[in-house]
Chains A and B, each alone.
Chain A
Amino acid sequence: MNSIIAVVLLSTGVLFNLLGCIGLIRLPDVYNRLQSATKCVTLGTCSILLGLLVMYGFNDIGVKALISIPLLFFSATVAAHALVRGAYLSGVKMDKRTVVDHYKAVRDGVAQSGNEKEGREEELYEVS
């Protein structure tokens, strides 16, 4: 019974990985590719490790799989976020069909208010 549930979980994980990698090939833009691939592949690999836990129970191998689930979850999402920020700042163009770009407006607002803050900080340093 445990092995059947484990094989179902493993199959679900490999199916998610397959869909994520098809998105990695087919989508038109680096941002779309990274969004599709990172979410699907992270969830699929977590499902594979959960299947490992179900098959072996709370042995040492199952507990190692259970430990590596949150490790993978946080590290993969943080790495993807840093990568997409680097891609945006290095000037990779978006696709022509892109509708909205909120990050540009946010960055412009931050730049303006940042200049004001720098001025205030200089005044503070002069006073002190």
Chain B
Amino acid sequence: MENALTILLYIQIGLCFFCLFRIVRGPTIADRMVGIDIFGILVVGICGILAIITDRMFIIDIGIAWIILSFVGTLTLAKYLEGRKLNE
């Protein structure tokens, strides 16, 4: 049980390195932003598995906050990518 959850946590952390690879090697700037977006969603899954393993319930609060911050950050990056001013 614990071993299975630990293996799942390690796989999920390894997936973050896939996103980091895409952030480093992206040909265009939109690829890097896609990597940042997917990274933010993967961290929520890490928080969920970590909350089960350590049996502490405040970690899921970190996940909820991370969802909202990732949403706002991605919208800001998309608006910048579209070429508009940020104070419109």
Write the residues of chain A forming the contact surface with B, with a CB cutoff of 8 angstroms: 3, 6-7, 10-11, 13-14, 17-18, 20-22, 24-25, 30, 33-34, 37-38, 41-42, 44-45, 48-49, 51-52, 55, 59-61, 64-65, 67-68, 71-72, 75-76, 78-80, 82-83, 85-87, 89-90, 92
> Whole-angstrom distance between the alpha carbons of A61 and B67 in the complex?
16
A79 with B78: in contact, given A34-B34, A52-B60, A64-B60 (CB under 8 Å)? yes
Q: What are 23 pairs between A and B in contact, CB < 8 Å? A: A6-B52, A10-B8, A14-B45, A18-B15, A21-B18, A22-B18, A24-B34, A25-B21, A25-B22, A30-B28, A45-B42, A49-B44, A52-B51, A52-B60, A60-B57, A71-B67, A72-B67, A75-B70, A75-B71, A83-B33, A86-B77, A89-B82, A92-B30
What is the predominant secondary structure among interface residues of chain B facing chain A?
helix
Q: Is B1 an interface position by the 8 A CB rule?
A: yes
- Number of B residues contacting the other chain (C-beta, 8 Å)? 46
Could you count the A-B residue pairs with CB atoms below 8 Å apart for me: how many are there? 147
Contact (A25, B64) CB under 8 Å given A37-B38, A45-B42, A85-B82: no
Closest to A42 in B: B41
Contacts of A45 in B (CB 8 A): 41-42, 44-45, 48
Interface string of B66-88 (1 = CB under 8 A from A): 01101100110111111100000
Establish whether residues A14 and B8, one from each chain, have CB atoms under 8 Å apart when the complex forms.
yes
- Cβ-defined contact, A83 with B37, below 8 A: yes
